[in-house]
Amino acid sequence: MNIEAKPWTRPAAPRGLEGWLESLRDLLVIPPELRDEWVERDAALELLQCGPEILDELLRSGLPHGGTPGAERFDRFDLVNLALYSGSGTSVPEKTMRYALRWMHADPEALFRPQRWNYSVALTPPASHGQGEPERTEWNLATPHPELSGGWTESLSIGPEGASLGEKDITASGTSGLTASGVLVTSGERREIVSEELRAIVTSYGPDRFRWGRMPEELQWRKDEVLAQGYAPCISVCLELAERCREAGFEARTRRGWIMGMLDLAHSWLEVVDEDGLVKNVDPAFVILADHHAEAPHPDIAEAFTGSLLNRLLPTEHHADEPVNGYRRGGLFAHPRHQTDIQLSAEQPAPRETAGAGNGSGN
């Protein structure tokens, strides 16, 4: 595999223009068919916090954009990835990432105890949906399954009236969208990879060779294209690792869900059956994020991401290449607008003996 992007190390001090230009040189550009250049120049400057002179130099150096001079428009994914590896220390994506990953500073033991969350998701039509009454409008939202990693569901309400709670998805029909809210408890368990062969496979996509980046899910599904450019977002790397594990004789699948308390992002990870018969969760994206974007991460955190079940993950029955929500109008699929709010509850549960962590199967 030809990896074009160079390994990145957080600079000791802001690098100014040179840091921005270096980030631009290694930028994974969103391809034309997936681009959405809706971010206007003023909003881009607010996001990047680089000043108009540096933005103009980036434009002269090839930063992709639409619009006209002085009224440029940008793809948000390009801007976020550009900022994350600029080393400026002042951009909104850099500050947001440092804040979101602050939990990686703590002792990993905190990732294995039960955590109670207030969970709420609301789906509404995408901006591009047509006018008029469609022949049929259908919604789906992945059903949360905290019990897959030792947690449990305390309450879950869905809407509108007539919505259905299935093992894989919450579904609804009509034009009023879909909602789900409740109280969920996630948990975890420390597990270590036993097989040396398996460990060699799952640790081969580390921060010494790959970067993490934001991009459309449809691009992440094209894993060979993304990984070849030195980027390892969660979907791409998990799809690749599942293939490699199965080729080596290990039962493996990808799992889709949400990261709890970290921007409430949809996320993917690998589940693989080790030679001791236990499922081990592997999260290379977390390893990369800890190394590149978390300030002073705990020295044992990468090991926790390589085998253990984590209370920071809310599993569903979806695979990595299955969106956690969907909107279909007249049979055509689109990503709905979604408002996801997952907040740590003020009251936390005590460990309960009946909440066994995970099953022993990779399916």
Dump pLDDT digits (tens) for 343-354. Answer: 999 998 876 544
- Percent of the chain at pLDDT > 70 equals 91
Q: Which residues are CB-contacts of 85 (< 8 A; sequence separation ≥ 6)?
A: 8, 22, 23, 26, 211, 292
Q: Kindly state the average pLDDT of the residues 73-102.
A: 95
The pTM assigned to this predicted structure is 0.90
Measured at the alpha carbon of residue 222, what is the angle toward residues 218 and 226, in degrees to the nearest 5?
110
How many CA within 13 A on the CB side of residue 226?
Answer: 25
Q: Where are the domains of the chain?
A: 17-100, 107-347
Q: Return the minimum-mean-pLDDT range out of 1-5, 36-40, 260-264.
A: 1-5
Compute the radius of gyration of the chain from its Cα atoms. Answer: 21
> Which of the four pLDDT bands, split at 50, 70 and 90, describes residue 6?
low
Q: Is the pLDDT of residue 210 over 70?
A: yes
- pLDDT on residue 11: 76
Give CA–CA dist 209/232, Å, rounded.
9
| Mean pLDDT score of the chain | 91
Q: Is the pLDDT of residue 28 over 70?
A: yes
- pLDDT on residue 354: 41
- Percent of the chain at pLDDT > 90 equals 79
> Which of the four pLDDT bands, split at 50, 70 and 90, describes residue 2?
low
Q: Is the pLDDT of residue 313 over 50?
A: yes
CA–centroid distance for 83 within its chain: 17
- pLDDT on residue 351: 64
- Residue 98's identity, in one-letter code, is R
Q: Kindly state the average pLDDT of the residues 209-220.
A: 94
- Other CB atoms within 10 Å distance of the CB of residue 289: 23
Q: Kindly state the average pLDDT of the residues 314-334.
A: 93
| 154-184 pLDDT, tens digit each | 999 999 999 999 999 999 999 889 999 999 9
Q: Is the pLDDT of residue 301 over 80?
A: yes
Q: Which residues are CB-contacts of 286 (< 8 A; sequence separation ≥ 6)?
A: 305
Q: Is the pLDDT of residue 360 over 60?
A: no
Give CA–CA dist 115/188, Å, rounded.
9
- Given a contact cutoff of 8 angstroms between Cβ atoms, the answer to whether 340 and 264 are in contact is yes
> Which of the four pLDDT bands, split at 50, 70 and 90, describes residue 263?
low
3-state secondary structure the chain: CCCCCCCCCCCCCCCCHHHHHHHHHCCCCCCHHHCCEEEEHHHHHHHHCCCHHHHHHHHHCCCCCEEECCEEEEEHHHHHHHHHCCCCCCCHHHHHHHHHCHHHHCCHHHHCCCEEEEEEEEEECCCCCCCCCCCCEEEEEECCCHHHHCCEEEEEEEECCCCEECCCEEEEECCCCEEEEEEEEECCECCCCCCHHHHHHHCCCCCCCCECCCCCHHHHCCHHHHHCCCECCHHHHHHHHHHHHHHCCCCEEEEEEEECCCCCCEEEEEEEECCCCCEEEECHHHHHHHHHHCCCCCCCHHHHCEECECCCEEECCCCCCCCCEEEEECCEEECCEEEEEEEECCCCCCCCCCCCCCCCCCC
Q: Which residue has the higher pLDDT, 265 or 26?
A: 26
299 φ/ψ sector (left φ>0, alpha ψ -120 to 50, else beta)? alpha
* Sign of CA pseudo-dihedral 96, 101, 106, 111: positive
Q: Is the pLDDT of residue 227 over 80?
A: yes
- Residue 195's identity, in one-letter code, is S
Give CA–CA dist 52/102, Å, rounded.
31
| 61-78 pLDDT, tens digit each | 999 999 999 999 999 999
- pLDDT on residue 355: 41
| 102-147 pLDDT, tens digit each | 999 999 999 999 999 999 999 999 876 655 555 679 999 999 999 9
